[in-house]
A and B are shown apart, each in its own frame.
Chain A
């Protein structure tokens, strides 16, 4: 029998965080936390969620009860496997120990896995209130956390506010737009009736990253509303080609906002 464990799949066990630098504890002469850190690092190398890994995190927590990394890492398999109750209890402890380091992660997960928009906004705004520095990026690297917050506002119906937040982020000094920023901004502009800017941003999204069916699909919708049949069909068909080639929003865990599906494209083409 071929064992699953012997096979290589695209995603096996992505740990949530970069492993901590244990030497920080050594330099502080904090031997218990140094040892705990080594144990947690060992746990993070094991299959995520395995008994041995979870027990090692427990040992790390027991040796260094203030070690938020161990709580957060121990929590992660529960999140990914749908046990949100256990995840929340553990991640709350991590946040309590290190709000500055963990609020962004908890907020992002609330958005990504639970569509808990209000909870995510509360965490991200709390994080911003604790620091004068940049609040950073989400765990999978897709978004700046301010953009993730904007998407939460969008989901709650506050689209103008979402636009303001993304536009403000885009002009921040030293900020390089992330892969999907222009796509979301284009869709928001379309949804709020600002057609020309929607087209501009969606084209900008294509210029920035031409490996996505989504901007073509949304451009197609705009042209359909404008009764530009040729442009509608060109873009919608291109969206379909891209989609079938695998050029689309994808995430192994959840469905990202503004993601489209093949049935969306085919419905539009069929009704045209």
Chain B
């Protein structure tokens, strides 16, 4: 494996519809593909329309290193992601990968908490897999407005203890994700917290973690043009000045972030 970034036409093996808004694309990677790390992302070219001019940044959902496949979980949020939802087996997609700085792992025996809000659960599968390989003990919390936002599959359940919360109570416990005891009295017992989801959720969990003295990493979803560090459009305001979500991030130590008020804004 090489660690370079690559631009490639990759074969779509499968497009699995999860519900009205979400789907997972499985693509074939070349055997000598660059190493892909949890929390990294790819940039996909949406073919065929002047309205979807720029690539779409999509986080890595899962990697099967034995069969050389990459899974991308995508939410339909506009014209570009809608077009991607029509991809089918046998199609090719133009991808730049792997991009960005991903999550840090944990050591053997450490208890860690993974939190995903809505489609923010996407990067947590591959992360949980890698954490389990490293011997860490994963707890996975998923939150959403309604049952449509809960994309927790049995795959996650194989990797750790899971909890589900919805704001309307249509599935799991009723309430915000932070209502779970893992984010309350239990929080101190975790070595690390990983979060991806809406800003409000990441900010809330980030603050709770800081208060509990637990290290916390968040994965930001910023608007991007290039994805490789040249356009400076995806800036993140940090204690060290403006940095790029696509190179220094998208995963950041929450204590470095200042004034983040980013989503919901995306190309669609």
Tell me whether A and B are bound partners: no
**A residues with CB within 8 A of B:** none
